[in-house]
Amino acid sequence: MPFARPVRLSVVLPVIGMLALSACGSGKSAGEPAATAAVSLTNCGHTIRVDAPPERAVSLNQGTTEIMLSLGLADRMVGTATWTDPVLEGLEDENGKVKRLADNAPSFERVLDTGPDFVAASFVSTLGKGGVATRQQFEKLGVPTYVAPSDCSGKENHGNGDGTRENALSMDAVYGEVRDLAEVFGVEERGEELVASLEERMEKATKGVDASGVTLMYWFANSESPYMAGCCGSPGIMTRALGAKNLFDDTREEWPQINWETVADRDPDVLVIGDLTRKSQTAETAEKKIEFLESDPVTKNMTAVKNKRYVLLSGQALNPTIRTVEGVERIAAALREYGLDG
Report residue 36's pLDDT band, with 50, 70 and 90 as the boundaries.
low
pLDDT of residue 51 exceeding 90? yes
Its CATH class, for the domain covering 208-337, is: alpha beta
> pLDDT tens for residues 189-236?
999 999 999 999 999 999 999 999 999 999 998 999 999 999 999 999
| DSSP strand pairing (215-221 vs 227-228) | antiparallel
- Count Cα atoms within 13 angstroms, Cβ side, for 197: 21
CB 328 within 8 A of CB 241: yes
Of 20-34, 89-103, 238-252, least confident by mean pLDDT is 20-34
> pLDDT tens for residues 55-65?
999 999 999 99
CB 324 within 8 A of CB 237: yes
pLDDT recorded at residue 181: 98
Report residue 25's pLDDT band, with 50, 70 and 90 as the boundaries.
very low
CATH 3.40.50.1980 in the chain, residues? 19-204, 208-337
Integer Cα distance of 15 and 222 in angstroms = 26
Mean pLDDT of all residues in 20-29: 42
Burial class (CB in 10 A: 0-12, 13-18, 19+), 27: middle
Superfamily of domain 19-204: Nitrogenase molybdenum iron protein domain (3.40.50.1980)
Predicted TM-score (pTM) of this structure: 0.86
